[in-house]
Structure 1
C-alpha cells in the first residue's frame, strides 16, 4: 500500500515564509492589470535625507557645527583687539590693520588641525557606526540597494563637511570685519590689496582648500569601509594629514612635495602675491581631487564586495591593505612622476636668485607703505630699483634650500640722492617657500617695530615681513 505524502508541518511552513514587509524571492510577482509590480529600491533623495538626519542628530555633529559657526568669529574678534598678535602665523601681524587677515589666520590653522579632525569625525565613522551597532541588515532590507546606501552616506558626509567649512570661513570673516573693518590687506610680496580684491582672494583660498578636505574625507570613507568597527577608521584622515605635515617639514624634492594630496592647504599662499603664484595651487587642487576620486572609488568597490550576512566580513584584514593602501601608494607614485615630468621641478625649488627677487620685491612694496605712514614724497618701485644680495650660511654652504641661516642685504635708491640706502635682514625660509624676514638695521628703516607717524606710533612694515618663494621654475622644461 502506498503511503500518502505527508503535508508540511505548520512550523516548517512558517519558517519558509519571509517576515512581513520583505518580498519572497520564490513568489511570482504580483499582477495588477497589465503591469507587473515589484519592490523597488528607495529613491536616492529619501535615503540621503535619512542619512543626513542620522548624522546631524548625533550630539558631536551638532557640537561641531555650533563650534565652527561661532568660535572662529569670537576668536578673530578677540585677537584683533589685543596688542599682542600671532605674528608667527601667516597674516597674523596684520590682524589689527584689516578684517581680511582674520579668515586667513583661521584658514592656516584649519588646514593643519581643524579640517583633518572634522573629516575624521564625520566621514571616518559613517560606515563603521553601522558595524558597531549591527544595523546593516535592517538598512539593507529598508533601502534594498547597497549602491544607494553608499551614495547616500557619502553625500550626507559631504553636506556636513561643507557646512563645517562654510561655518569656519563665514564666522571668521564676520568676526574680522566687525572688529577691524573692510580695509586693504598687505600681500605676501608687500603690495597692497584693495578691500574688494582681498575679499575675492580670501574666498578663493577657502574654495581651494576644499580639494584637500575632500581628499581627507574620501580617505575617511575608505577607512570606515575597510576597517569596519575598528577605531583606526575614525583616526585615518587625521593620521594621513599628520603624515603629510611631517613630510612637508622634510627636505623633499619639490616634485614629491607638490604631489601630496594636502599641498593645497599650503599653496593658497600664492594667491596673495603679485602676480599670483597659481601653478603650485592648481597642482595641489588637481592632486587633491584625483586623490578624493580614487579613494571614493576604492571605498565603493570594497563596500559592494561586503558580505553582510557574514558577521566577520567587516573585520579588517589583508583586504584592507590590498584594496586600500596599495592602490593609494601606487597613485602617489604616479602623481610624483607626473608632477615632475609636467613641471620640470627638481631639488628643493629654493635657490639664491628666487630668494633675492622675492625679498627685493617685498621690500620695495613695503617701503612705499612706510613712506605713506611718514608722509614722505611718494616713490615708485621703478624709482627705488631695490635689489637684494643674499647668501646662506656664509661661504660654507650653497645658497639653496630652506633654513634660518639666510642673510640678505637690500639696497635701494631715492630720486635726487646719490648714495644708495642699505638694510640688513635675517631670513628663516621654510621648505614650502614661505619666509620671514627679520630686520637687522638700520634703526630708522627696519631696526624697530614701531615708526613715529603724525598720528602716533604705528607698526613698522619693514621691521618684519612675510614672503613667498615660488617653488616651480619660471618656465616648465620639456
Structure 2
C-alpha cells in the first residue's frame, strides 16, 4: 500500500481537530459565554435608566429589540471578535509547537496539506459557532426584554419589524468578512511565529491597528481597502450598498490571502527541527510584505475606480443627510404629539451647515459642525428652524445634538397625551455616504 493511500481523509482529520478544540475547557467556556452572556447584557441594559448613547443604536435599546444586537455588534467588532479569533485561529498551530506533537500528528495523518485544511476548517467552525451565538443570544435578549418593535434607521426612517430583523441579520452576516480576515491573520501568525506569544496576539493587534487607522481622516479608498466592520449603510433607505459590498469583498480577499500565505509557509516547514520556534524573517517576507502589497493594490484599484478622493464628507452630503433624518424624525414626533400627519415632501426640510463658525472649510470629520434645519408646514407661511451641533466621525457617522428651540429639539423629553416620552429630535445618529453617487 502506498503512502498516499494511507493518508487520513480530510473529514477524519477535521473531526479529530474539532474534538481537540472543543475538548479544551477555555474554548467550551467561551462558546458558552457567547451563547448566554449577550442575552443577559442586552436584557439588562435595555432595562436601565441610562443607555449607551455613545454607541450606534444605543439610544434605541428602550424602544426596540433590534437595537441590542447592533449595539453588541459594534462592541464585538472592536473587542470581542478580535480576541475570539486570537484564542482560536491564533493558537491552533502554535499549540502543537508548545506540546511538541507535530511528529506524532504527521505520522498519523501523513500529509501536511491535510493537516492544515483540517485545522483551518475546525477553527473556522468554532469561530462561526461563536459569532452565531453572539447574534442569536443578543437577539433573544432584546426580544424578551423589549419586544419586536420598529427600529429607527440612520436616516430617521422607521424600519418595520420584519425589515429591521432582516437588516440586523444581514449586518451580522456582513461582519463575517472582517472576522474571517482576522481568522486568516491568526492562522498566519500561528504558523509563521510558532510558539511565540505574538502569534497568538496577532489578530487582536492587527484589529487594534485597523481600528486606530479608521479613526484617522483617511481617504475613502484607504478606508474601504482595510478589513473593517462596515455595516452602517444597511440602515438607511435606500441602503448604501456599494460601500458595504466593497468592505465585504475586501475582507474576504484579506481572509483568502492571509490563509493562502499561512498554507504556503506551513507546507514548506521543516518538521524535523524539534526546536522550531517560528522565523521572524519568514513572517515578514512571506507574511507581512504580501499583505502590505495587497492593501496597496486594493487602494490603487479603488482610487482608479474614482472612489478614493478625499474623506468623502462634504457640505452638501452633510446637509442632505441631516435634512433627511430630521424630516423622518419630525414625523415620529408628530405622531407622539397626536398632531396631523405630514409627509417629508410637504415639510420640504433643508439644512445649512458650516464648520468652525464659518472659519473652517466645510469638509471632513470634526465636532465643530453647526447646522440650521428649516422646514414649512402645509397651509402655513411661517418657516420653522432648529439648530444642531454635529460631531462627525471619519467613517461618516454623525451625532446631531439639538440646540433649540426647546419645543422642537431643545429638551430630551416631549409631553405626549400618554405622558413624557423621549424626544426623537433632541439627539440622534445619522450617516453620510462616503462614496460619490454613481
Tell me the TM-score range normalised by the shorter chain: over 0.9
Aligned partners of 1:116 and 1:134: how far apart in 2? 27
- The answer to whether residue 418 in structure 2 is matched with residue 455 in structure 1 is yes
Instruction: Within 5 Å, give how 1:394-433 maps onto structure 2.
Output: 394-433=357-396
Give the superposition deviation at 1:198: 0.2
Distance in structure 2 (CA, Å) of the matches to 1:84 and 1:246: 28
After TM superposition, the score normalised by the length of structure 2 is 0.99
Structure 1, 78-87 or 443-452: larger mean CA deviation: 78-87
CA distance in 2, matches of 1:345, 1:275: 22
Q: 1:241-390, aligned counterparts within 5 Å?
A: 241-262=207-228, 265=229, 267-390=230-353
Partner SS for 2:299: helix
Query: Structure 1 CA distance, aligned partners of 2:389 and 2:4?
Result: 76
1:171 aligns with 2:134: no
How many residue pairs match? The answer is 438
1:90 maps to what in 2?
A: 56
The farther-off stretch of 251-260 and 199-208 is 251-260
> In 2, distance between residues paired with 1:402 and 1:37?
62
Q: How high is the TM-score relative to the length of structure 1?
A: 0.90
**1:67 matched residue in structure 2:** 33
Shift of 1:318: 1.0
Quote the residue 2:176 is aligned against: 210
Q: What whole-Å deviation, never above 9, does each CA across 1:317-373 have from its counterpart, x for those lacking one?
A: 311111001111111100110111224330110010000000000000000000000
1:232 aligns with 2:201: no
SS of equivalent residue, structure 2 residue 358: coil
Give the 3-state SS of the residue equivalent to 1:394 in structure 2.
helix
Instruction: List gaps (5 residues or longer) in structure 1.
Output: 1-28, 30-35
Which residue pairs with 1:12 in the alignment?
Answer: none
Distance 2:303 2:74 in 1: 26
Residue pair 1:261, 1:287 contacting (<8 A) in 2 also: yes
Q: Give the SS at the match of 2:6.
A: coil
SS at match of 2:305: helix
* CA distance, structure 2, for counterparts of residue 429 and residue 418 of structure 1: 33
Cα deviation code 1:55-109 (max 9, x no counterpart)? 1111110111011000000010011111111111100110111101100000000
Deviation per residue, 1:18-61 (Å, 9 max, x gap):
xxxxxxxxxxx5xxxxxx89851011111100000101111110
Output the CA distance in 2 between the equivalents of 1:98 and 1:90.
14
Give the Cα–Cα distance (whole angstroms) in 1 for the partners of residues 313 and 106 of structure 2.
55
2:164 corresponds to 1:198:
yes
Is 1:111 the counterpart of 2:77? The answer is yes
Q: Secondary structure at the match of 2:357?
A: coil
In structure 2, runs of 5+ residues without a counterpart are none
Cα distance change, pair 248–38 in 1 and its aligned pair in 2 (3 A): closer
Match of 2:91 in 1: 125
8 Å CA contact 2:191–2:278 kept in 1: the answer is no
Q: Distance in 2 between matches of 1:342 and 1:65?
A: 42
- Higher Rg of the two aligned structures: 1
